Amino acid sequence: MSVLTRDEAQTRARLLDVHHYAVELDLTTGDETFDSTTLIRFTARATGDTFVELKPDTLRSATLDGVPLDPAALTENRLPLTGLTEGAHELRIDASMRYSRTGEGMHRFTDPTDGETYVYTQLFMEDVQRVFAAFDQPDLKAVFELTVTAPDGWTVLANTVTERQEDGRWKAAPTQLLSTYFVAVAAGPWHSVRTEHAGLPFGLHCRRSLAPYLDADADELFDITRACFDRYHEKFTEPYPFDSYDQAFVPEFNAGAMENPGLVTFRDEFMFRSAVTDTERQTRAMVIAHEMAHMWFGDLVTLRWWDDIWLNESFAEYMGYQTVNEACSDRFPDTWIDFGVTRKSWGSDADQRPSTHPVAPDPGAVPDTASALLNFDGISYAKGASALRQLVAWLGEKDFLAGINAHFARHKFGNATLADFIDNLASATDRDVHAWAERWLRTTGVDKLTPLVAQAEGYWHLTVDQAGDRPHRVAVGAYDRDDADARRLVLRERFEIDVPQGDSVTVRPGRRPDLVVLNDGDLTYAKVRFDATSEETALRSLSGIPDALTRAVVWNALRDMVRDGELEPAAYLETALAHLPEETDLAVVQGVLTFARTQIADRYTAPEERPAALATLTALARDLIRRTEDGDSPGLRLTAVRTLIDSATTPDKIASWLDEGTVHGGPELDPELRWRILARLAVLGAADEAAIEAELARDPSASGQEGAARCRASLPTAEAKAAAWSAMFTTDDLSNYLFTATAHGFWQPEQADLVRAYVPRFYEDAPAMAVRRGPAMAEAAGRYAFPVHAIDAESLAAGEKALKDPALTPALHRKLVDQLDDLARALRVREG
């Protein structure tokens, strides 16, 4: 397949104005392919040659202005259009297209629960070409009119309101001007819940087998949707620009969600069929708010080329958290705690790898769509959102929103660049936004801030040592031990400073505080450290810090210190054991336990020390379970139960839970917990194929199929590992989700000897599979099927050798760069 280069896109944009697409899709032609007919009306500004993109199963015919084109001229994904004359043209393409099982293009899914089939589109970057012919680049916006023939009993959803015609076809109203990657169709026997708000139809849609879970949550989902919709209309002067707002929860979706105008698609794990915590519900609310923010930033105003993808994602990430924090504060009182614990670390980890890039890369760094796809990472989302949060703290929200609204007004239904965005922000303030952007958006890496604290003559002095040179506006928290309880801390004062400060020293009256916290309130993006006294106080009294967001800042600092080899992993675990039982914020508990279980126990701890690490986590989980017996903290109890299951080193306790169908004192075991226990029992050699089959008979759903795949791959037998490996890398029959489930089960630290021979095989088989199955599966292989447990020099050397292969696909190459850097870091941590 030919990737589109930036130069090619600019040349085509100078040549063409694209006005209108009439797309007809027939979804009744079989299980493997569907028919696609496209009529494109466009104007050439001058004579010249260009091309249209499509990836058909069969190209039946193509005509330009009524003159047939040779289908054999299609080369890879490009059909040449030569000898265009100045003026108006019509291009008609008739093709058969192939359904996808990898979440790209037109994905087809048959629900194992009831046999019903659903299809939906995911057309991001280049995948519109898998569905219909297009001039596929974001700055060639056009009006789209879709007509879809679907089986009887199906409902067809699209970007605009759809109606079923007398001939049985579904017709969608014409869209506003859209980029090609925003076109969306979702068809099937959906279960739908509908309402109206602000004069617009709102809808929620899911598979029929998930109907009870949608019905149970519909009020919550609509309440969040309405609250965010209204809050955005208070912030933005441009009204919501589309004719409806549907949210479809679709199966086997690769991303968290996609901001298709008027038809947002979400992964249907957000239809909670098992118990979840309030933090997980908050995450769902944030994703709803994130995608709605895109209706303005991304959909109304769209990037011109993919180097500015951060403009879409960083803005939506910031707005998602901020808007839920404002509009849903009664339900979710502080979303920024979860952002600090989970999302910000995603960004800073990515920013410390060799693959790091600026939030806003230089244009030359994104020369084509293949390189652009690699930038959908923690930098474009979380680091960019952190930068915007710092910008708001520096500018003030009033000026920030004034600049944003100027941006919308000047570029609505068009395309814009970073320069446009910064110019519009600058128009609303006297501050030097251009200089700020150069320092924050055009640079890489994470600054580190360390307090230097001294005492003299009734005053304490604070100087901040900065590794890095970005300007930071930060709050400093000064805390003293409570005289009545030394484990408790009292806030003496919180004040703001600008860093760097040059040679200046902040002087405050009184003795030095017991704990000095830089970036209290978490308004900037930087690693923070402690002076010696503060570190000792933090380790002893962390749970006694009165504010949850400050505790999150301190936990993040300890996490970074472990990763940087400045704090022993065992010391982190002991701190968790001492303080998590007193923690009241669930996001903090979940974040700390996740890092402790997946990174410290599985990667940073040497094999001979791992049983002790798991024992510490088990003791911590048991303590949390004991402390939640009164039933007042179901989310905390559920988190503790999950941790105990995942950390079990013997099967007896969790096997008894599975046999009895409950944890003593609750919770009852729902499908997620049952599969979780069975997967751990499989790892420990206490489950077999018969047990997996019995559980699958109990839960034959799509999630059950994934649970069974994970359990089978977890079985500690040579036969199970060989079958799982073949399924992942030989047969190509697994869908994206079943591949991921199998990969999750395959590598287990407890089974290192059993799978040792597969470590070098990964570097042989994954690259070949990536070529065959494309970028989505390449990314899945690099993310989930990589041998993360193999923390040794041999694995690192094998990976570094594999990186030198010029045939390695960009998506897999990027994932291997990241994984190998994490592997090298884990080796350094282990070696001390």
Which residues carry out catalysis?
A: 291
Q: Is the previous residue joined to 667 through a cis bond, with omega within 30 degrees of 0?
A: yes
What is the rounded radius of gyration, in angstroms, for the C-alpha atoms of the chain? 27
Q: What share of the chain is helix, strand, coil (3-state, %, to 5)?
A: 45, 20, 30
Q: How far is residue 194 from each of residues 200, 205, 244, 250, 489, measured CA to CA in Å?
A: 11, 9, 11, 17, 50
Q: What b/e readout covers 622-658, taking b as 16+ CB neighbours within 10 angstroms?
A: eebbeebeeeebebbbbbbbbbbbbbbeebeebbebb
Phi-psi category of 396—alpha, beta or left, where left has phi over 0 and alpha has psi -120 to 50? left
| Main-chain dihedrals φ then ψ at residue 247, nearest 5 degrees | -125, 115
Nearest to 140, CA basis, from 122, 128, 158, 157: 128
- Count Cβ atoms below 10 Å from residue 796 Cβ, excluding itself: 17
Considering Cα of 69, then 72, then 73, then 79, what sign does the dihedral take? Answer: positive
Residue reference for tokens 């002893």: 540
Residue 250 and residue 265 in contact, taking contact as beta carbons nearer than 8 Å: yes
| 299 DSSP 8-state letter | T
> What is the identity of the amino acid at 364?
G
Angle at 391 between CA 297 and CA 494, to 5 degrees: 135
Residue 824 and residue 799 in contact, taking contact as beta carbons nearer than 8 Å: no
| 339 DSSP 8-state letter | I
User: Could you give the 3-state DSSP secondary structure of residue 731?
Assistant: coil
Residue 645 and residue 673 in contact, taking contact as beta carbons nearer than 8 Å: yes
Q: How far is residue 547 from each of residues 343, 488, 544, 625, measured CA to CA in Å?
A: 19, 12, 9, 24
Considering Cα of 673, then 676, then 680, then 682, what sign does the dihedral take? Answer: positive
Q: Are strands 459-467 and 257-258 parallel, antiparallel or unpaired?
A: unpaired
d(C-alpha 145, C-alpha 132), whole Å? 12
Residue reference for tokens 């994490």: 822
